[in-house]
């Protein structure tokens, strides 16, 4: 046998792809977790079909999972995949444009039937030629038939047998990239502890795939990707929705209050509700409401009762919650609203990512209804900004909207688990002196009122959606309304003292400042680093704090010749900056395809600006 070909790489991107029922998300997640445990830095991008059950074998029903890992800092899941695992022809058609030139395609040759080729809208029996994939390393593996052969003695029906074919593909890829199978075996044993035959069959097929690679190594090259040099500590692989849930848990612990979540399930935010519903052991109360309005109003009731109150949603749900957010603004109650953004408008692209809810978060309510707005930048970063959103809400008695998105919520990366003792303190504004308490009496500096709730003797008071005077009585006085409107806006602006100064990655002055916000950070920082390595005078300013903006924003902008605002919408943050930080010529780079940026397209856009 010819010696195995071993290729050493600094970083590599793998894309698992097949029908929704082929288990590609689980396969990608298990491979990613095993990779993270080996010490590689990783970034993942699960790509779900928008339809709950698209026709099997069609391009619309393709489910994908891309992971990039390496021995250096990984900020994105990769523009293009070095290796594609395709379980059917539709996966080839859907992912041809995401392949790195000269990459490797491993495909289930059993699935490439005339019927399946037609379902994927191929007009010939040569799908690789039609997709212009001739110059790629294509490895045909009869995954389905090998899975059947491996499980012929398990007494399973054909449908149950084929559910395990993803484990064959996973085993093969684990061999190719020198990933041990221990973690995956432990997961299967834990996940299916009450179904021994499922455990045994999946582990059998997993090893069959691994051994196939070992025996056919003259066909399938092996890759070595050394562990990353990362800071010592306890790490786990975490996605943005989990991190958000845990950040809220940590905030409740630091604040010494109970956590309440009132939400209606909606893609892609539902996982936060699921994660917190599992933590009754920590005193968490979750309420799965019958609709979005009930979800937020239950949270407002919990805020009135003295809990850290949270509601989670996505774009359409945020629209339904808008009136109740106004009630929280008027009542001045601490409330955290998490919006995991997705493609819109209307139902739009529920499983795809977008940043198009910014204007809705800023202005999507009746009346002058200001709230604090934060945006997380990476999956693990969602922990800190969920924590910070809760801190601001509890200490300043104000609703806070935290913007994440589908890319962050579903994507994952290694996260260094912090010690609770090292997290910032949170001191809720709980009223202490009944003799001087009035519902809307304020701290003179930060303009926040005190928080009194049922059960606190002698602190009875009125709050609500009607305009009030300082004592809480209903007031129709025009001067009082003007005064309170000014105060509610100024109170939000005063939160700037909790906002760190805006920093630049790169030089503090130069030719081009790339500006972004939220979940585009990984692609923008990778782009700027590559451009700087090429000698370009480019820097990055990335925003986590949208309202209020960092105090030094104008100063940072003034030191660059050109500013380009990159966002996954038609220019909402650029419009906001033109309003709040006028006087600069803001260029735009926008994308609305339900997909994150690629470093390649960002470099093209910024280089064009540099050349003008």
Domains of the chain: which residue ranges? Answer: 6-224, 236-422, 504-611
Q: Is the pLDDT of residue 434 over 80?
A: yes
Alpha-carbon span 405 to 407, nearest angstrom: 5
Mean pLDDT of the chain: 94
Residue 267 DSSP class: T
Helix residue ranges, H only, 311-366: 315-320, 322-331, 358-363
More confident residue, 38 or 109: 109
Q: Would you place residue 450 in the very low, low, confident or very high pLDDT band (cuts 50, 70, 90)?
A: very high
Long-range contacts of residues 609-612, Cβ cutoff 8 Å, at least 24 apart: 609/512, 609/562, 609/564, 610/511, 610/512, 610/536, 610/538
Q: What integer is the mean pLDDT of 485-493?
A: 98
Do the domains at 6-224 and 236-422 have one common CATH topology? Answer: no
Q: What integer is the mean pLDDT of 158-183?
A: 94
Q: Is the pLDDT of residue 449 over 50?
A: yes
Confidence (pLDDT) at 226: 81
Q: What integer is the mean pLDDT of 5-21?
A: 86
Domain 6-224, CATH: 3.40.920.10
3-state secondary structure of 335: strand
Q: Is the pLDDT of residue 71 over 50?
A: yes
Pairing state between β 6-8 and 62-70: unpaired
Q: Is the pLDDT of residue 221 over 70?
A: no
Q: Is the pLDDT of residue 217 over 80?
A: no
Q: In what order do the strands lie in the sheet with 504-505?
A: 504-505, 538-543, 510-517, 560-567, 586-590
Burial of 482 (0-12, 13-18, 19+ CB in 10 A): exposed
**Which stretch of DSSP H or E encloses residue 532?**
helix 521-533
Which CATH code of 3.40.50.720, 3.10.180.10, 3.30.2310.20, 3.40.50.920 fits the domain covering 504-611? 3.40.50.920
Alpha-carbon span 179 to 177, nearest angstrom: 6
pLDDT tens per residue across span 351-381? 999 999 999 999 999 999 999 999 999 999 9
| Choice among 56-70, 307-321, 553-567 with the minimum mean pLDDT | 56-70
Q: Is the pLDDT of residue 446 over 60?
A: yes
Q: Would you place residue 3 in the very low, low, confident or very high pLDDT band (cuts 50, 70, 90)?
A: very low
pLDDT tens per residue across span 113-133? 999 999 999 999 999 999 999
pLDDT tens per residue across span 173-200? 999 999 999 999 999 999 999 999 999 9
Q: Would you place residue 234 in the very low, low, confident or very high pLDDT band (cuts 50, 70, 90)?
A: confident
CB 310 within 8 A of CB 259: yes
- Which CATH topology does 236-422 take? Rossmann fold (3.40.50)
pLDDT tens per residue across span 36-65? 988 899 999 999 887 767 788 899 899 999
Q: Is the pTM of this model over 0.85?
A: yes
Q: Would you place residue 218 in the very low, low, confident or very high pLDDT band (cuts 50, 70, 90)?
A: low
């Amino acid at each position: 046998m010819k010696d195995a070909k071993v290729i050493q790489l600094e970083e590599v991107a793998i894309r698992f792809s097949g029908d929704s029922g082929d288990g590609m998300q689980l396969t990608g997640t298990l491979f990613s977790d095993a990779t993270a445990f080996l010490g590689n830095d990783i970034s993942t991008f699960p790509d779900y079909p928008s339809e709950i059950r698209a026709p099997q074998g069609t391009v619309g029903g393709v489910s994908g999972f891309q992971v990039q890992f390496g021995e250096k800092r990984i900020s994105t899941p990769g523009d293009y995949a070095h290796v594609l695992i395709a379980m059917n022809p539709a996966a080839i058609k859907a992912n041809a444009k995401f392949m790195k030139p000269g990459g490797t395609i491993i495909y289930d040759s059993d699935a490439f039937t005339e019927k399946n080729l037609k379902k994927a809208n191929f007009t010939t029996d040569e799908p690789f030629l039609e997709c212009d994939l001739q110059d790629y390393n294509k490895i045909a593996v009869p995954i389905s038939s090998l899975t059947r052969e491996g499980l012929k003695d398990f007494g399973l029906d054909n449908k149950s047998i084929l559910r395990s074919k993803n484990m064959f593909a996973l085993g093969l890829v684990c061999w190719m990239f020198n990933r041990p199978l221990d973690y995956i075996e432990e997961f299967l044993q834990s996940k299916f502890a009450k179904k021994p035959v499922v455990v045994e069959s999946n582990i059998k097929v997993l090893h069959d795939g691994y051994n196939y690679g070992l025996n056919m190594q003259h066909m399938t090259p092996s890759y070595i990707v050394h562990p990353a040099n990362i800071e010592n500590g306890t790490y786990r692989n975490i996605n943005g929705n989990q991190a958000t849930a845990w950040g809220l848990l940590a905030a409740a612990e630091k604040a010494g209050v109970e956590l309440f979540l009132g939400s209606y399930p909606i893609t892609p935010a539902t996982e936060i509700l699921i994660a917190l519903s599992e933590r009754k052991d920590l005193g968490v109360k979750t309420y799965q409401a019958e609709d979005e309005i009930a979800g937020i109003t239950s949270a407002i009731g919990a805020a009135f009762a003295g809990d850290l109150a949270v509601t989670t949603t996505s774009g359409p749900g945020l629209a339904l919650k808008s009136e109740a957010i106004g009630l929280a603004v008027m009542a001045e109650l601490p409330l955290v609203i998490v919006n995991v953004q997705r493609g819109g408008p209307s139902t739009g692209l529920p499983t795809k990512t977008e940043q198009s809810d910014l204007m809705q978060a800023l202005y999507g309510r009746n009346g002058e209804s200001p709230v604090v707005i934060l945006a997380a930048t990476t999956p693990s970063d969602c922990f800190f900004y969920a924590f910070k959103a809760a801190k601001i809400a509890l200490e300043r008695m104000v609703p806070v909207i935290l913007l994440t998105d589908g890319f962050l919520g579903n994507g994952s990366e290694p996260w260094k688990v912090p010690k609770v003792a090292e997290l910032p303190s949170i001191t809720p504004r709980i009223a202490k002196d009944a003799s001087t308490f009035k519902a809307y009496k304020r701290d003179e500096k930060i303009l926040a009122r005190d928080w009194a709730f049922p059960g606190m003797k002698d602190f009875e008071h009125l709050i609500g959606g009607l305009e009030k005077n300082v004592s809480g009585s209903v007031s129709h006085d025009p001067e009082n309304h003007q005064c309170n409107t000014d105060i509610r806006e100024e109170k939000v602006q005063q939160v700037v003292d909790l906002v760190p100064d805006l920093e630049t990655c790169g030089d503090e002055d130069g030719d081009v400042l790339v500006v972004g916000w939220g979940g585009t950070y990984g692609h923008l920082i990778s782009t700027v680093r590559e451009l700087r390595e090429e000698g370009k005078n480019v820097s990055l300013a990335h925003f986590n704090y949208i309202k209020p903006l960092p105090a030094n924003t104008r100063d940072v902008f003034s030191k660059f010749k050109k500013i380009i605002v990159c966002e996954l919408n038609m220019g909402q943050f650029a419009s906001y900056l033109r309003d709040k930080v006028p006087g600069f010529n803001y260029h735009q780079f926008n994308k609305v395809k339900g997909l994150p940026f690629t470093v390649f397209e960002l470099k093209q856009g910024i280089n064009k600006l540099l050349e003008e």
